[in-house]
A = this chain, B = another copy of it.
């Protein structure tokens, strides 16, 4: 898509935000991070994204303070990419877009829905739980549920298989240690 990179002429907070998360693939990478994807290769197979682009985005996110690297083994050095606090605060945006896309851009309705884990109520447009009166359900308390047709997910990579199940956000897709 060649989404350029900056919006220098715009003195607006939204423009600043888009310089961080507005490039092609950026929000899908962060969505996967909320889903519990943490490793380079897992992002790669789940997103079908060129490796060079993934490298660029992960590096940029790390520099912007949206993700941070955490070593999961020493040699060779290998890192998990985890959401920082600033990254976690993007949950309302990710959820809002997914909700809107499910309502207005997905022929057949949403493929995934997000619920308050405690009570099962679907999150509202504000990301809150109407039943419990929770204004903003933190991502760690959100359960994702998939709604595929009879033939299951369209993708067949192992990450998609894991994510097809009902699970909490942020829970690692790999061996929960």
Report which residue of A48, A90, A104 has the largest number of chain B beta carbons within 10 angstroms of its beta carbon. A104
Query: What's the Cα separation between A9 and B50 when bound, in Å?
Result: 13
Segment of A71-79, A105-113, A169-177 engaged in the interface with chain B: A105-113
Flag if A155 contacts B11 (CB, 8 Å). yes
Query: What's the Cα separation between A108 and B127 when bound, in Å?
Result: 28
Query: What's the Cα separation between A126 and B110 when bound, in Å?
Result: 21
In the complex, chain B residues whose CB is within 8 Å of the CB of A161: none
Which DSSP category, helix, strand, loop or mixed, fits chain A's interface?
Answer: loop
A91 to chain B, nearest CB (A): 9
Flag if A11 contacts B105 (CB, 8 Å). no
Flag if B111 contacts A13 (CB, 8 Å). yes
In the complex, chain B residues whose CB is within 8 Å of the CB of A19: 105
A28 interface neighbour in B14, B47, B86, B99, Cβ under 8 Å: B14
A172 to chain B, nearest CB (A): 19
Further pairs besides A22-B24, A126-B136: 13, Cβ < 8 Å: A2-B24, A11-B153, A11-B155, A15-B101, A16-B105, A17-B98, A18-B28, A21-B97, A65-B104, A66-B104, A86-B103, A90-B100, A126-B135
A-B contact pairs, 29 of them (CB 8 A): A2-B24, A3-B23, A7-B28, A9-B48, A11-B153, A11-B154, A12-B98, A12-B112, A13-B98, A13-B101, A13-B111, A14-B94, A14-B98, A16-B101, A16-B105, A17-B100, A17-B101, A17-B104, A18-B28, A86-B103, A89-B104, A90-B100, A93-B100, A124-B135, A124-B136, A125-B136, A126-B126, A126-B128, A135-B135
